[in-house]
Amino acid sequence: MKSKHNEVEAAEAAGEILKRLLQLFKRPVLPTGPVSHHTVLAAVAYLAASAWLLGEFVGFTSEHLLLSVDPEKFIRWRLWGSMLIVNAIGFVVVLYALAIGPLYLKHRHAHLQIVSHGLRAFALLNFPATLLCVLGANNTAVSGVPVPDSGAMWWVMGVLLLLFLFLIFRILILPIARYGCRAFSTRFAYFAGLVVTLAALTFNPVIANGYFSYVLDKENFCSAMISVRFHHEFTSDAYSRDCLVTRCVEGVGADSAAGFATECPALISRKP
């Protein structure tokens, strides 16, 4: 009974998060008046809650997209969610540092609306970003590259990337530019909004230092990739699975069956 009650509460919480994400997409507007630090803390909690929901989102999309590999087995989701939170906070800090000076000279208050909105925007942007990551990992396991040269998956990732860029413009760049219009001319506000947002995205410390590479469990990913790309070799007893997985984790010979064959010579040619 208690477990069922917890499931109901979790479903209600997830529904509330999705409802707020939809509201943000429909009306991505920064508040007009000053906001308190409580609003910022609420945005941080909202960001953390959306990161928790990502695990359920990935499970749902993986099932319905019929992926060749299960991303839940080789992506460290707790670390991934933590990295997304740190990534959002890093972006907001840089954005605020770039924007606060000129805005404060015009209107002397903290302009915490920028911080609150940036955190909420990333709560929504994390969903298409995560889906792109999952699809890239699936493509890498199947073909060795994150984005295929052609085919249905190429179109899927292309459309998803365009949607991601559209969301960045709609819920991040445009609202910040409109907020700047209260202090500056429309032309300058839109130009400055674009520049400071792109600068904050570019200089984000988490992305710049490549910390996201740590979320991938290499051994489990290699095991999944080997199973997909070398299934026939296993069934014909041509290769040793342990050897292939070990070489893959080490980054040796992972491009083709021939590459693995070179690295595992003593385990080849069991074919009749």
Q: Where residue 166 falls among pLDDT bands split at 50, 70, 90? A: very high
pLDDT tier at 235 (50, 70, 90 boundaries)?
very low
In this structure, how many other beta carbons lie within 10 angstroms of the beta carbon of residue 103? Answer: 21
Q: What is the pLDDT of residue 223?
A: 80
On the CB side of 224, CA atoms within 13 Å amount to 23
3-class DSSP state of 152: helix
Place of tokens 């969903």: 127
What residue has token string 């990551």?
133
**Six-digit token string for 5:** 């009650």
Q: How confident is the model at residue 14 (pLDDT cuts 50, 70, 90)?
A: low
Contact between residue 186 and residue 210 where contact means Cβ atoms under 8 Å apart:
no
Residue entry with tokens 């929901």: 53
- List the single range of 148-152, 193-197, 233-237 with lowest mean pLDDT: 233-237
For residues 73 and 174, the answer to whether their CB atoms sit within 8 Å is no
3-state per-residue secondary structure call for 54-114: HHHHHHHHHHHHCCCCCHHHCECHHHHHHHHHHHHHHHHHHHHHHHHHHHHHHCCCCCCHH
Dist CA 191 CA 199 (whole Å): 12
Q: Tell me, what's the pLDDT at 13?
A: 62
> What string of DSSP letters covers 8-68?
HHHHHHHHHHHHHHHHHHH-----SS---HHHHHHHHHHHHHHHHHHHHHHHHHHHHHT-S
Q: What is the pLDDT of residue 64?
A: 64
CB 200 within 8 A of CB 208: no
- Alpha carbons 106 and 50: distance in angstroms, whole number: 34
Q: Which two tokens stand for residue 250?
A: 């080490």
pLDDT category of residue 208 using cuts at 50, 70 and 90: very low
Report residue 200 as tokens.
């904050």
Highest mean pLDDT of the ranges 30-44, 79-93, 215-229, 234-248:
79-93
pLDDT of residue 220: 82
75 forms bridges with which residues in the sheet? 216
How confident is the model at residue 130, as a pLDDT?
A: 85
pLDDT tens digits along 49-67? 888 787 777 777 666 666 7
- Give the chain's mean pLDDT: 76
Confidence band of 212 (pLDDT split at 50, 70, 90): low
Q: Where are the domains of the chain?
A: 32-216, 230-267
CB-CB contact of 108 with 5 (8 Å): no
- What is the pLDDT at residue 135? 83
Residue 150 DSSP SS3:
coil
For residues 99 and 2, the model is more confident at 99
pLDDT digits (tens, 9 = 90+) for 175-186: 988 888 888 888
79-103 tens-digit pLDDT: 888 888 888 888 898 888 888 888 7
Comparing 148 with 129, the larger pLDDT belongs to: 129
Q: Is the pLDDT of residue 1 over 60?
A: no
Compute the average pLDDT of residues 215-227.
80
